[in-house]
Amino acid sequence: MFKLANKPIDPRALCDAVRDPAAGGFASFEGWVRNHHHGRNVASLEYEAFPALAEKEGNRILEKICADHDIVTARCQHRTGHLQIGEIAIAIAVSAAHRDAAFDACRAIIDSIKSTVPIWKKEHYTDGTSVWVKCHACADHGH
């Protein structure tokens, strides 16, 4: 189950949600707000989603990856709003009978989410400027 969260994510609760007597392996991934990007000093990050489609697409990704790998349960939460350095932006929890499936699925989930779920990130820098990440890079070589 994929959910957007506008409050801090509790990774322990996510881990508990995938516990299962049939699971022998657990893998998780957390994306944290980092204080630098491409050599610039980042002060904070702002995430904005197209909520209805973000949750629909996030759930499609989880369903597909659970079907492709031998997974017991997977959960993912993605933050929206203004996040400070060190906060959790995304947390993924996967349980499986064996470790390979858990590791592989966890990796596949974060990669897919980054490529198609409609969530955008604005970086606020310590010099007071801010930029929507990626969108700017794609804005046609600076016309």
Partner 1 sequence: MKGLLLVGGKSSRMGADKSELVLRDGLSQRERGIQLLGCVCNEVYVSTREESGAENTIADAFGSIGPLGAIASAQQNDPDSAWLVLACDLPLLEQEHLTNLTNSRDTKKDATCFTSATDGLPEPLCAIWEPSSMNTVRESLDAGKRCPRSLLLSLETNSLSSPGLWPLANTNTKADLLEIKARLNKSTLLKTISVSYFAQLRELTGTSSETIKTDSETPAGLFEEIRAKHSIPLKRKGMMVAVNGDFTDWSHPLAEGEDVVFIPPVAGG
The piece of 16-24, 36-44, 50-58, 93-101 that touches partner 1 (CB under 8 A) is 50-58
Minimum distance between the CB of residue 140 and partner 1, rounded to whole angstroms?
5
Q: What does the per-residue mask of binding to partner 1 show for 93-112, with x meaning CB under 8 A?
A: -----------------x--
Which residue in 48, 87, 103, 124 binds partner 1 (CB under 8 A)? 48
Which residue in 3, 70, 81, 132 binds partner 1 (CB under 8 A)? 132
Closer Cβ to partner 1, 2 or 26, answer by number: 2
Q: Does 119 bind partner 1 (CB under 8 A)?
A: yes
Say if residues 48 and 122 touch (Cβ distance below 8 Å). Answer: yes
Which residue in 31, 43, 44, 82 binds partner 1 (CB under 8 A)? 31
| Opening angle at CA 15, ends 94 and 61, nearest 5 | 35
Minimum distance between the CB of residue 101 and partner 1, rounded to whole angstroms?
21
Alpha helix stretches (DSSP H) within the chain:
11-17, 51-68, 99-116
- 135 exposed, middle or buried (CB, 10 Å; 0-12, 13-18, 19+)? exposed
**Strand 119-125 to strand 130-132: parallel, antiparallel, or no bridges (unpaired)?**
antiparallel
Using CA atoms of 103, 36, 50, 31 in order, give the dihedral in degrees to the nearest 10: 20
Residues in contact with partner 1 by the rule CB under 8 A: 31, 47-50, 52-54, 56-57, 78, 89-90, 110, 113-122, 132-141, 143
